[in-house]
Each structure stands twice: as structure tokens, then as C-alpha cells.
Amino acid sequence: MPNAPLPKSDEEIHALAAELRLKPEALLASSHGSWRPAPIPPVPGLHAFSTPFGGMDVNSYAVVDPATGKAAAFDTGSDCSDLLALGLPIEKIFLTHIHGDHIFDLDRLIEKTGAEAFANSFEPLAGTTPFHAPAEFEVGNLRIRAIPTPGHARGGTAYFCTGLQRAVAFTGDALFAGSMGGAGSHWNEALQSLREKILSLPDETILCPGHGPATTVAEEKLHNPFA
């Protein structure tokens, strides 16, 4: 949402939802913290990590191809120690955007794994390989599609991964469970990214956001006020 305090009364929240063309009941549930996505059963080959950064937790992820054992990482959080402890043969590192909480330990992850790191060309970053989204990548038999999701960040990118038991998308801060990252003056662009790029994926897709719990496309269509 635009950078403004959320109204306190239910009536004000309904009025705001109408003004911004959001789902009023979903916005109300989000403001009260009364909804959380259903827990997602473990998916073999999908690893999630949460590390503290500036008073909040930030997520990073890894996927492992079950056939070849080759692996990829998505963002680093503030500390990639738990990822490194798994001893995965990380070949590629994909950045959803280059805000500090998501890339804080990138240099160490590159040094320890020798992996090539990729960042959207709209956000060039030293030590990474730029690419123009949309783009396609392979890690073993996994297929990873980079989807441009500008709004929260100019080079915001979601990664849609197939080849595990379930399709997974790593959304960065373009979408959270029941919410999305701040967009400031790029409000319309952020909404378009969420609605047209992320929620257009198959309903059963697991969504792995930059902060907070995992969710699914189907749940977000119902419960995300910005959907």
C-alpha cells in the first residue's frame, strides 16, 4: 500500500479498500492479523531459511534437483551459515532484488560455493551476472523461469521453479502471505506485478516470500487484499 498508516476502525478500513479497489474483508483480516495460510507439507528438495535483520526476519531458500543433486539458492538473508551447513552443491544464486536484507551474505555464499550469482539487469550489482527478465535457467533437471516483478524494487524478480514434487515460486518482496512489500510511488506497478505475474501462476504453486510464511497462489487469490 502507499506509505500511510492503516486506518484503525473497521469502517475506515472498508472505506480505504473501496478507494484503492482492494478486497475489504481480506484487508480487514490482514489489519487484525487474523488470517494465516495453511501449513504446507514439506517438499523434498526445497529448503527454507529465516535469519534476523534489523528487527525483522528475512527468508532465503535453496532447491535441489532430486535426479542430479545439483542445487540453486535464492537470496541469502543476513546469514547463509545454515545453507552452507547442508553442504549442497550450489551452482547458481538468484537474487529477487538487491535490498540489503536479501543480499547481506552474498559475497560469502559466492566465495564458499563458487556459484554464479544472477541479478536483474535493472539492478546491476558487482559480482553478479546481469540478465534481462523474463529469462530461463536450468539447474540439473529443474527449470527456473525468471519473471519481472517491478514495484517494490525496480529489478524485482520472481523465480518459478518446476521439477520438484510441486511447483514453487520465490517472490521476494513482491508478495507476502496476505500482503505485499512497500511500493511507494510505484503502487500501480507493484499491484500489476502481484496480480498479473504471480497470481497468474497455477493455483497449486507454493509461494515462498522474502518475509513471513509460505503460501499458495490459490490461498492468495482468496485472502490477499491486493489480489
Q: What confidence tens digit (pLDDT) does each residue in 111-135 have? A: 999 999 999 999 999 999 999 999 9
Count of structural domains within the chain: 1
Residue 123 lies in a domain: yes
Q: Please answer whether residues 154 and 185 qualify as being in contact, where contact means their C-beta atoms are separated by less than 8 angstroms.
A: no
Are 148 and 197 spatial neighbours (Cβ–Cβ below 8 Å)?
yes
Predicted local confidence at residue 145, as pLDDT:
98
> Residue 18: its pLDDT value, please?
78
Looking at residue 11, its pLDDT comes to 84
As a whole number of angstroms, the distance between CA 158 and CA 147 comes to 5
| Domain, as residue range, for 87 | 36-223
Q: Is 78 a member of any domain? A: yes
- Tell whether 125 is covered by a domain: yes
SS (H, E, C) 104-116: CCHHHHHHHHCCE
* Average model confidence (pLDDT) across the chain: 94
Residue 54, domain CATH: 3.60.15.10
Question: Domain for residue 27, yes or no?
Answer: no
Q: Is 152 helix (H, G, I), strand (E, B) or coil?
A: coil
Q: Does 28 fall in a domain?
A: no
Mean pLDDT over 52-71 rounds to 97
What is the pTM (predicted TM-score) of this model?
Answer: 0.93
Main-chain phi, psi angles of 212, to 5 degrees:
85, -175
Residue 14 located in a structural domain: no
Give dist(CA 222, CA 206) in Å, integer.
15
| 138 domain residue, yes or no | yes
Res 1: pLDDT? 37
Indicate if the pLDDT at residue 5 is higher than 60: no
In-domain check, residue 30: no
